[in-house]
Amino acid sequence: MDEPRVIRVNDTQININGNGRVPPEVATLLRAHLDGHFEPLDAAQADLTAEGHYGSAWVVLGADLVAIVRPGASEPVRTIPLDDDTDLKILEGIGASRFRVVREGRLLEELRYSRRQSRHFSRLLHRTDADQPPGELDADVPDAHREDDRICSKCDRLIPDWADSCPRCLHKRKILWRLFSYARPYKRWMFVGVFSGAMVTLLQLAPPILTKHLIDDVLSDPETNRQLLWPLILALIGAILLRVLFHYLQMNRLARMGEMMTCDLREHAFEHLQKLSLSYYSKKPTGQLISRVTHDTDRLWDFITFGVIEAGMSVLIILCIAVILFVYSPALALLTLLPIPVAVVLTYAHTRVMHRTFHRLWNKWSRMTSVLSDVIPGVRVVKAFTREAAEVQRFRRHNRDYQDDALKLHAEWTSYWPKIMLLINTGTIIIWGYGAPKVMRGDEGFSLGMFVAFLGFMWMFYGPVEQLGMLNRMFQRAATSAQRVFNILDTPPTIYTRPGAVADAPIRGQVCFRNVSFSYDGVKRVLHDLNFEAETGQMIGLAGPSGSGKTTLINLICRFYDVTEGAVLIDGKDLRNMDLNQLRGEIGVVLQEPYLFRGTIAENIAYGAPDAPIDRVIEAARAANAHEFITGLPDGYDTIVGERGHTLSGGERQRVSIARAVLRNPRILILDEATSSVDTKSEMHIQAAIDRMIQGRTTFAIAHRLSTLRRADKLIILDKGRMVEQGTHEELLESKGLYSKLFETQNELQALVTM
C-alpha cells in the first residue's frame, strides 16, 4: 500500500455544492496530518456509509493527489498519488452510487454517496481529465448550470424537494408586502376601500353604545327622558345604513383592485416565463408552472379582497373595544381579556403547522395537474396503448395523495376552532359571573345598560379574534402562493440580450463555430471542441448516431443555450453580443414534430409575422406546397386546427410549419428531421418545398435518412459530441469513415424493406 505523501493545505477555498466550503473540521484534519504544499481543485462529500446509513466522508482533489478525509475515524486522512497507475471510477446505482480509487489494479478506497451528491462526484471525476489551473472550477460555465443546487445560502441547510427556496428563511411578511407593491397603480381604489373599512369598523361600535343609553337613560327613566327615544332610534338606523353604504364601497373597490392586481401579477409571471431559458423548463413540470400562474394567483385575489381589510378591521375593532371596556370597567375588562394570551399561543402553533402543510399541499397539487398536462395532450398515445386504466390509476394515486394531506390540513384547522370558541365562551361566562351579581345588587357605576353593552362588546371583541384566526389560514395560503409566484419572477434569465448589444443591419448568414464545447449540467460535455464554418447560402448537413449532439448544435445557433467554451460567430460577431430578438428573428426553424397552436391555419402560418397580409400568407403556403390541401378544407385558411394541430395529418402539419418559416423570410434556416415522420408522398411534397425554401439561405439540416443530404454543400458528422468527419457526400463515401458506414447500413436496410 502506498505511503501517504507529506503535504500542506493552504487557504484556497474549495467549492462544494456550488456555494460552500469543506467543513472546518475537514480543513483542520488536512492541516494537522499533511505538510508541504497542496492546491485543492475540487471536493465532494460521500454522505453514505458502507452499510448504507447516513455518514460523512470527503474526497478532496489536488493537482497530483486525492485525499480521503473521514472525520472521527482511526485514520482520518489518507492521500493517494494521481498518476498513470491510479484510476478514479464511479459505479452508478439507482438509489446510491460508489466512488472508487483503484491503483495498479487494487481497490484502495470505495465511498458511497446518494443521488444528491452525484453531480459533484461527476464534476470531480471530470476535473481529473481537464487541464485546469488549481482553485478554478469551470470558470466559463454559466451560473445557470449551478442553479439547481439545493443548499440554502443563508442557513446552509438542504432545501426540501417540495420547495424552490428555503422555507426556514422565508419571511412571509416581506413576501406579502412585496405583493402589495402591485397595488401602486390602484392607490385611489385602495384608499377608498381602506377608508370605507375603517368607517365600517367605527360604525360597528355605535349599536352597543346607543343600546346602553336606551336602557339606562330611556327605559330606566321613561318619564324624564322620553324625548330621547326616537333620536336614539334614528341614530341607530343611521349608523346601520351608513355601515351598509361603506361596506358596499369597501367590497366593491377592493374586489376590483384585487382583480386588477392578480391580473397584473399573472401577466408579469407569464411575461417573465417567456424570458427564461429552456434549461428552466426542463427542470419544472408543466403542470406546476400552470398551477402557479393560474391557481396561485387566484388564491391571492381572495386574500387581497377579503383578507387584508378584514385583518385591519379586526385589529382596529379589538383596540377600540379594549379602550371602551377599560373606560367602562377596568376590572371586568381585565377578566374579559384573560383568554387572549392562550389564544395567541394557540394561533402561533397553528400558524407553523399550517404553513408547512400548505407547502406540501401545493406541491402535491402541482404533481396532480402535471398528470393532466401529460395525459390530455397525449390522449392518442394513451388510447393506442390501452393505458386508460393505468393513467386513471396514476391520477387517482396523486389525487388521493393530495386528499390525504388536505384531510390533515382540515383536521388541524377544524381542531383549532373549537379551542378558540371555548375561549370565547369562557369570556362570556366570566362576564356573567362577575357582572350579573353586581347588576342584581345595584352596585353604583355598573348599570344594566352597561352590562348589556359589555355583553355586546364582548361578542364584538371575540368575533374579530375569531376572524383573525380564520384569516391566519388565508394568510398562510396567500404567503405560500405568493412565494411560488415570486419564485418564478425571481429566477433570472440566463439567456438575454447583453448590455450594449445593438441591432445591426440584417445578417448575411455566415456561421462559424470556433472551439465550441458545451455541457447542459456543467459537468458532462455533450459537444467537444467543434470548429467549422458555413458560408452565406451554404447548406450544411448534420449527421451521426442518436445522441451525438446534432440537436444541441442547432440549439446553440438559435442561442437557446450559451456555449460553455469557445464561441459561435454569425457574420464574424459573437452571437452572445447580438440583440437576441434580432438574432432569432433572422432564424427559421422547422422541427421534426411541428407544433401548431389552436386557431386558424392562417394564424398559425402568420405566427412569426402576425401583421402579414393574407396574400403573403397564401404565397408562403404555396411555397410550402400547402395551398392545395388548405383550399380543399371546408373553411380553407380559416379552418380551426385542434390543440397541437391534431386535426391535420403529420405531413399537413409539417407543410404548415414550413410555410410559417417561409413567411418569416429568415437568413438562416434550420431543418430538424423535417421529413423523418411522414409518408413517402408527403415527403416528396415537403422535400420540394424545402428545395425552394433553402435557396439563398444558410441552411442547417439534420436527417437520419442520409440520402436527403446528398445536395448539402458540406456534411458534418458527429459522434459522441465530437466532429469526426466533414466534407461533401462523395468525399465522405470515399473516406470509408463513420458516414460511409452509416450510409451503407441504411442502404442495406432499405434493400431488405423493399424485398
Region 259-282: mean pLDDT is 86
pLDDT of residue 252: 87
Cα–Cα distance measured from residue 484 to residue 359, given in angstroms and rounded to the nearest whole number: 9
Contact residues for 155 (Cβ-Cβ < 8 A; gap 6+): 166, 168, 169
Same fold, 167-329+448-494 and 511-754: no
Q: Is the pLDDT of residue 278 over 70?
A: yes
Q: Is the pLDDT of residue 469 over 80?
A: no
pLDDT of residue 275: 86
pLDDT of residue 19: 36
Region 409-438: mean pLDDT is 78
pLDDT tens figures, 325-382: 788 778 777 877 777 788 778 877 777 777 677 778 877 887 888 788 778 777 767 8
**Higher-pLDDT residue of 34, 751:** 34
pLDDT of residue 146: 42
Helix, strand, or coil here: 589?
A: strand
Instruction: Give whole-number Cα distances, 745 to 249, 740, 749, in Å.
Output: 78, 9, 6
pLDDT tens figures, 86-136: 888 888 776 688 888 888 888 888 989 887 787 778 777 777 654 443 333
| Contacts by residues 9-15 (CB-CB < 8 Å, ≥ 24 positions apart) | 9/34, 9/38, 9/40, 10/37, 10/38, 10/39, 12/39, 12/40, 12/134, 12/135, 13/135, 14/40, 14/42, 14/43, 14/60, 15/42, 15/43, 15/137
Stretch among 49-58, 573-582, 690-699, 744-753 having the lowest mean pLDDT: 744-753
- Residue 222 burial (10 A CB sphere; 0-12, 13-18, 19+): exposed
- Residue 209 burial (10 A CB sphere; 0-12, 13-18, 19+): middle
Instruction: Give whole-number Cα distances, 473 to 348, 352, 354, 412, 422, in Å.
Output: 11, 11, 7, 10, 19
Q: Where are the beta strands (DSSP E) in 503-635?
A: 511-519, 525-534, 539-543, 565-570, 573-574, 587-590, 599-600
For residue 61, give the H/E element and its range: strand 54-62
Contact residues for 401 (Cβ-Cβ < 8 A; gap 6+): 364, 367, 368
| Residues 269/179, Cβ–Cβ less than 8 Å | no
Say which CATH architecture domain 24-128 belongs to: Roll (2.30)
Confidence band (pLDDT; 50, 70, 90) for 556? very high
The DSSP secondary structure of 225-237, one letter per residue, reads HGGGHHHHHHHHH
Nearest to 648 by CA among 682, 680, 623, 618: 682
pLDDT of residue 17: 37
- Residue 277 burial (10 A CB sphere; 0-12, 13-18, 19+): buried
Q: Is the pLDDT of residue 522 over 80?
A: no
382-421: burial string, b at 16+ Cβ within 10 Å, e else: beeeeeeeebeeeeeebbeebeebeeebeeebeebeeebe
- Residue 517 burial (10 A CB sphere; 0-12, 13-18, 19+): middle
3-state helix, strand, coil in the chain (%, to 5): 55, 15, 30
For residue 83, give the H/E element and its range: none
pLDDT of residue 140: 35
| Residues 37/60, Cβ–Cβ less than 8 Å | no
Contact residues for 164 (Cβ-Cβ < 8 A; gap 6+): 483, 484, 487
- The angle at the Cα of 445, spanning 439 to 450, to the nearest 5 degrees, equals 60
Cα–Cα distance measured from residue 253 to residue 342, given in angstroms and rounded to the nearest whole number: 36
For residue 56, give the H/E element and its range: strand 54-62
Going from N- to C-terminal start, the domains of the chain cover: 24-128, 167-329+448-494, 330-445, 511-754
Cα–Cα distance measured from residue 268 to residue 264, given in angstroms and rounded to the nearest whole number: 6
- Tally of CB atoms within 10 A around 462: 24
Cα–Cα distance measured from residue 195 to residue 189, given in angstroms and rounded to the nearest whole number: 10
Distance of CA 405 to the CA centre of its chain: 22
Helices (H) and strands (E) in the chain, counts: 25, 19
Contact residues for 358 (Cβ-Cβ < 8 A; gap 6+): 409, 476, 477, 480
Cα–Cα distance measured from residue 5 to residue 37, given in angstroms and rounded to the nearest whole number: 11
- Selecting from 3.40.50.1370, 3.40.50.720, 3.30.1490.190, 3.40.50.300, what CATH number does the domain 511-754 have? 3.40.50.300
**Third-level CATH fold of 167-329+448-494:** ABC transporter transmembrane region fold (1.20.1560)
For residue 591, give the H/E element and its range: none
**Mean pLDDT, the chain, whole residue set:** 78
**What is the pTM assigned to this prediction?**
0.68
pLDDT of residue 77: 86
Region 540-549: mean pLDDT is 87
Region 174-178: mean pLDDT is 76
Cα–Cα distance measured from residue 559 to residue 495, given in angstroms and rounded to the nearest whole number: 8
Cell numbers standing for residue 547: 445522441
The DSSP secondary structure of 650-713, one letter per residue, reads HHHHHHHHHHHHHHH--SEEEEESTTTTS-HHHHHHHHHHHHHHTTTSEEEEE-SSGGGGTT-S
Confidence band (pLDDT; 50, 70, 90) for 568? very high
Cα–Cα distance measured from residue 130 to residue 529, given in angstroms and rounded to the nearest whole number: 13
Q: Is the pLDDT of residue 692 over 60?
A: yes
pLDDT of residue 39: 66
Nearest to 438 by CA among 430, 447, 429: 447
| Residues 606/612, Cβ–Cβ less than 8 Å | yes
pLDDT of residue 136: 35
Residue found under cell 478532496: 60
Cα–Cα distance measured from residue 363 to residue 198, given in angstroms and rounded to the nearest whole number: 37
Helix axes 448-489, 388-441, angle to 10 degrees: 150
Confidence band (pLDDT; 50, 70, 90) for 523? low
Q: Is the pLDDT of residue 69 over 50?
A: yes
Region 413-419: mean pLDDT is 79
Helix, strand, or coil here: 600?
A: strand
Q: Is the pLDDT of residue 513 over 90?
A: yes
Does the CA dihedral 564-570-571-576 come out positive or negative?
Answer: negative
